[in-house]
Amino acid sequence: MRIIFAIDIIDGKCVRLEKGDLSTKKVYNGDPLDLAKQAADNGLKHLHLVDLEGAAGLKPVSFRLLEKIATRTFLAVDFGGGLRSTGDVIRAFDSGADQVTCGSIAITNPELFLTWLGKWGPEKIILGADCRDRKVVTHGWTLSSSGDIKEFAEGYVKKGISHITCTDVEKDGMLRGPALELYMELQEISGIKLIASGGISALKHIEELALSGCDGAIIGKAIYEGRISLNELGRLC
């Protein structure tokens, strides 16, 4: 299972939220590039870099940071947050992203999203399928759709998506454990490569996700709060 370090960015700073609520924003000391270098130095190989300003509805503004991390570390970077045009996706890849995560666009403009999938393929395009009370949420988790998360994910797997990142918003940033039951249900979908995100606070949670068959696990706040060290995660890679 891939161990993926998470860096969320607002105003060029590393932040974490609770349940996606911007009013709970906590800014952590440390330059995002330095944090990425620390992750790489400890043996991690994957980074989930999220432009929260872009996710909330503005255009992505963190391309320069993405480029710095991609050129100054050997981390494979998955970049997301506000990718809503083909130009945005091209710029993300030109800036060094190995993969991009797209969520809102898959709801608001599925035809365009599928053209990206056709152009770059399922190893480059990740579907961000985040939910609250099983309903898919978009635009930085501020809007809810009527779609059930499993039906949404299964529909896109049938259309060629393989990598899907899923966050249960109620778990995110709370350090109370991941949505293990939801992930086990989603893995009933044939062909899915599921990346779990949200709630991980201990090594045992990573072990549980690995045993459930998850393809990857994204860890952020637990690292910043000292619950899990980069060194411990590096030993799992």
Residue from 8, 51, 78, 172 carrying the catalytic annotation? 8
Backbone angles phi, psi at 134, to 5 degrees: 75, -5
Catalytic (active site) residue 51: no
Indicate which residue of 130, 168, 172, 215 is catalytic.
130
- Other Cβ atoms within 10 Å of 122 Cβ, number: 18
In angstroms, rounded to a whole number, what is the distance separating the alpha carbons of residues 161 and 43?
Answer: 29
Two structure tokens written together for 93: 């890849």
| Active-site residue, 8 included | yes
CA-nearest of 99, 53, 103 to 78 is 99
Residue 225's region, left for phi above 0, alpha for psi from -120 to 50, else beta, is: alpha
Per the DSSP assignment, residues forming a β-bridge with 195 are: 165, 216
Distance between CA atoms of residues 16 and 232, nearest Å:
21
Provide the annotated active-site residues.
8, 130
